């Protein structure tokens, strides 16, 4: 019996496995954004002059005025720690030996949530300037993890 052939009066439970497949796509803007990280080691935002906003990550449309955003800007590889938190557990629930620092790094009028590295927890501060550390080009796959982490900026 399949789900579609189920009798309307049958119990609403399914015993066994359901075959579920999905494919996530980045979309037009996401494709271009992640390709630039992978191929160029650059982070792009898209600009809406009418709203005076620079979206990071870059996107196709302005969420305020719905304009098609055609102006893409290299926003550099530095941002500012807007907020941060500490992770004490791994995804599987096991306890980490050292907490991981995760921050929202403000870039343009948006930003990126990512790990912080090369810094002691007690030295992390709201407002500090950090820079992206990219994987070597031949190790990049077109993902946000092509950025290994953000570290305190050297300038």
Q: Report the interface residues with Zn ion, using CB under 5 A.
A: 48, 50-51, 62, 64-65, 67
The b-or-e profile of 123-153 (16+ CB within 10 A means b, else e) is ebeeebebbbebbeeeebebeeebbebbebe
Minimum gap (Å) between residue 47 Cβ and Zn ion: 9
Nearer to Zn ion, 108 or 130 (CB): 108
Minimum gap (Å) between residue 36 Cβ and Zn ion: 22
Residue entry with tokens 């002691």: 120
Minimum gap (Å) between residue 29 Cβ and Zn ion: 14
Nearer to Zn ion, 28 or 67 (CB): 67
Minimum gap (Å) between residue 73 Cβ and Zn ion: 14
Nearer to Zn ion, 35 or 64 (CB): 64
The b-or-e profile of 18-55 (16+ CB within 10 A means b, else e) is eeeeeeeeeeebbebbbebbbeebebbbbbbeeeebbb
What phi and psi values does residue 146 have, to the nearest 5 degrees? -70, -20
Q: Which residues pair with 84 in a beta bridge?
A: 103
Nearer to Zn ion, 53 or 130 (CB): 53
């Amino acid at each position: 019996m399949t789900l579609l052939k189920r009798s309307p009066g049958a119990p609403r439970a399914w015993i066994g496995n359901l075959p579920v497949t999905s494919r996530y796509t980045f979309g037009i803007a996401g494709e271009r954004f992640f390709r630039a990280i992978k191929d160029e080691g650059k982070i792009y935002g898209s600009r809406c002059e009418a709203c005076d906003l620079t979206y990071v990550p870059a996107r196709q449309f302005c969420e305020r005025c719905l304009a098609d955003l055609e102006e893409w800007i290299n926003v550099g590889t530095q941002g500012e720690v807007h907020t941060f938190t500490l992770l004490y557990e791994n995804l599987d629930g096991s306890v980490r030996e050292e907490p991981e620092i995760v921050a929202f790094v403000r870039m343009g009028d948006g930003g990126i949530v990512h790990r912080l590295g090369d810094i002691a927890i007690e030295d992390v501060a709201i407002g500090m300037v950090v820079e992206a550390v990219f994987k070597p080009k031949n190790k990049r796959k077109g993902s946000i993890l092509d950025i290994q982490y953000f570290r305190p900026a050297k300038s």
